[in-house]
Amino acid sequence: MLKETIKVACSSCNLRELCMPVGLNTQELIRVDELVATRRTVKRGAALFHTGEKFTSLYAIRSGFFKTGITTEDGRDQVTGFQMAGEIIGLDGIVNEQHTCDAVALEDAEVCVMPFDRIEEISREVNALQHHVHKIMSREIVRDHGVMLLLGSMRAEERLAAFLLNLVQRLQARGFSKSELVLRMTREEIGSYLGMKLETVSRTFSKFADDGVIAVKQRNIHILDADALKRIVNVPQCH
Amino acid sequence: MLKETIKVACSSCNLRELCMPVGLNTQELIRVDELVATRRTVKRGAALFHTGEKFTSLYAIRSGFFKTGITTEDGRDQVTGFQMAGEIIGLDGIVNEQHTCDAVALEDAEVCVMPFDRIEEISREVNALQHHVHKIMSREIVRDHGVMLLLGSMRAEERLAAFLLNLVQRLQARGFSKSELVLRMTREEIGSYLGMKLETVSRTFSKFADDGVIAVKQRNIHILDADALKRIVNVPQCH
DNA sequence: CGTCGCTTTGATTATATTCAACAATGGTGG
DNA sequence: CCACCATTGTTGAATATAATCAAAGCGACG
């Protein structure tokens, strides 16, 4: 039974190029397969972890879709990211040994649980893993800086266009269509992530649709003119 | 001569609690002292590194004050952070082996150059250093999420109040006054960081001054009522 | 002492928010 | 299977907020 849940080793997982370092030898592969202690399923709407919970592990998403976000005492909240298969969540918890955000599944999901002390232990022996962990954290930092750019310097249309392009690009890397996507999150969650109100998100979708750039049918988005979206993102703030 | 420039070892540096892990034994201290290859001085206005440059090292700020920022092809730019003594910069470069931002000194500065391959090597032997590196990266991620919250959910007054409180808190941790500070950056740089125009920054300073919360004399800020600033940050976005 | 970069302030305009009403959708239980 | 409800999404009108444009003031520095 337990065996059943950990049947697929990292070394034979189809997401391994996303989560794992490449170019390992047999010996190293065996070590790295020990990273994943267990699997865990998370139902839609449930949290993988909450702010304040003790940090013990990083999680590699095997299937499903998550949002992470912070909530302040005064009720403000901010979605800090949307994560899909192959991505790693929980990095925020390392510094203070407790999570600083909530991770909530936006659809039924399964994650690989990687105890962080085990990651550190195996990292000392497998150089490629050590470097891989550093790269994952650095990538998250670079991503965050990109979000700052978006929030700090783009107008609503630019933000939403950038958001759609980013999503579709990540989906494409996972073998999905580069023109069709299903949003797993509400307009409000998109708005929280992009620093705008849900009404503005809705209006902006409608405008893109009016302009023939996308077709919107609830959460199904069809990108009709990707170049137009790219042009919207790149329009320099004129005047 | 060379010896002169590396005279102060990390183990006897007065900033060591900020950059380095604590609780090392003698053996470990010796290893960790090998981290810093050289020192480098950076004149006010000069860059420590530029976007696109090959990444080789992390830098610990020994003295001075930096800004980091990204610039896009279309001329948009975003200050992603301001860094002071004891803080580490360059983490963004790990993932693609090249820097993704510019780091510019806002006053004459000196940094400790820590070649990243050496960091990884010593990390494998000194567990406390390994964990310390992970914590530093995680801390940067958490900080970035805080900036997202600020940019995504706060109004101008709230952003500037939060900015001042953050700066003064970090300065205080370094032994400076908790009520007086000298801004090393222009209104435009503050605005870029906070996602607002320089005029709005200026107006907001003036408003705080009118309200008796701070006194502003060019770049000298005197915080007269820290609690008021805290209240401004925490005011829930009413109606 | 004049120039240049930075800052302040005012008036106007652009942009997104807020408030409000209504429509569409999906899930639930009768 | 259908009706109902809660949730989510759309749209309009009024308003708040910050951006833009413009002009003038201040300070540091040569």
B102, B132: one domain: yes
B98, B123: one domain: yes
Predicted local confidence at residue A17, as pLDDT: 86
Interchain proximity B151–A151, CB inside 8 Å: yes
A85, A187: one domain: no
Asked whether residue B1 carries a pLDDT value surpassing 70, the answer given is no
Interchain proximity B235–A120, CB inside 8 Å: no
Average pLDDT over residues A128-150: 97
Last residue of a domain, one of A112, A147, A182: A147
Q: What is the pTM of this model?
A: 0.94
Tokens 């890397």, residue?
Answer: A173
What phi, psi does A164 have (nearest 5°)? -65, -45
B128, B191: one domain: no
Tell me the pairing of strands A102-115 and A57-71. antiparallel
Residue A238 lies in a domain: no
B212, B120: one domain: no
CA distances from B3 to A229, B40, B86, B118 (A): 56, 13, 22, 19
Query: Does residue A184 reach within 7 angstroms of strand D, measured from its CB?
Result: no
Asked whether residue B170 carries a pLDDT value surpassing 60, the answer given is yes
What phi, psi does B41 have (nearest 5°)? -100, 145
With beta carbons less than 8 A apart as the criterion, state whether A68 and A147 touch. Answer: no
- Full residue range of the structural domain in which residue B181 is found: 154-233
Task: Mark the nucleotides of strand D covered by protein, meaning any atom under 7 Å from a CB.
Answer: 8-13, 17-22, 27-28
Task: Nearest chain B residue to A71 by CA: give it.
Answer: B149
Predicted local confidence at residue B11, as pLDDT: 87
| pLDDT tens digit sequence for B114-156 | 999 999 999 999 999 999 999 999 999 999 999 999 999 999 9
With beta carbons less than 8 A apart as the criterion, state whether A237 and A155 touch. Answer: yes
* Signed CA dihedral, A119, A122, A123, A126: sign only: negative
Predicted local confidence at residue A5, as pLDDT: 53
Q: B4 vs B25, which has greater pLDDT?
A: B25
Structural domain count, chain A: 2
Asked whether residue A75 carries a pLDDT value surpassing 90, the answer given is no
Overall residue count recorded for chain B in this entry: 239
Enumerate the residues of chain A whose CB falls inside 8 A of the CB of residue B96: 142
CATH of the domain at B136: 2.60.120.10
Rounded CA separation A45/B191 (Å): 37
Rounded CA separation B116/B93 (Å): 10
Candidates A141, A152, A235; nearest CB to B151: A152
CATH of the domain at A203: 1.10.10.10
Last residue of a domain, one of A93, A119, A147: A147
Q: A5 vs A21, which has greater pLDDT?
A: A21
**Mean pLDDT over each residue of chain B, to the nearest integer:** 93
Query: Does residue A8 reach within 7 angstroms of strand D, measured from its CB?
Result: no
Interchain proximity A152–B194, CB inside 8 Å: yes
Q: Which of A127, A139, A141, A118 is nearest to A21 (CA)?
A: A127
Enumerate the residues of chain A whose CB falls inside 8 A of the CB of residue B135: 94-95
- The nucleotide lying nearest A205 (C-alpha to C1') is D10
Predicted local confidence at residue A237, as pLDDT: 52
Residue B71 lies in a domain: yes
- The nucleotide lying nearest A198 (C-alpha to C1') is D9
B178, B79: one domain: no
Residue B175 lies in a domain: yes
Candidates B77, B134, B149; nearest CB to A94: B134
Residue A19 lies in a domain: yes
With beta carbons less than 8 A apart as the criterion, state whether B103 and B68 touch. Answer: yes
Task: Identify the bridge partners of residue B111 per DSSP, sorted by sequence position.
Answer: B40, B61
| pLDDT tens digit sequence for A182-220 | 999 999 999 999 999 999 999 999 999 999 999 999 899
Last residue of a domain, one of B100, B132, B147: B147
Overall residue count recorded for chain A in this entry: 239
A139, A66: one domain: yes
B130, B163: one domain: no
| pLDDT tens digit sequence for B41-92 | 999 999 999 999 999 999 999 999 999 999 998 889 999 999 999 999 999 9
Residue B238 lies in a domain: no
> Cα–chain-centroid distance for residue A42?
15
Query: Does residue A55 reach within 7 angstroms of strand D, measured from its CB?
Result: no
A24, A106: one domain: yes
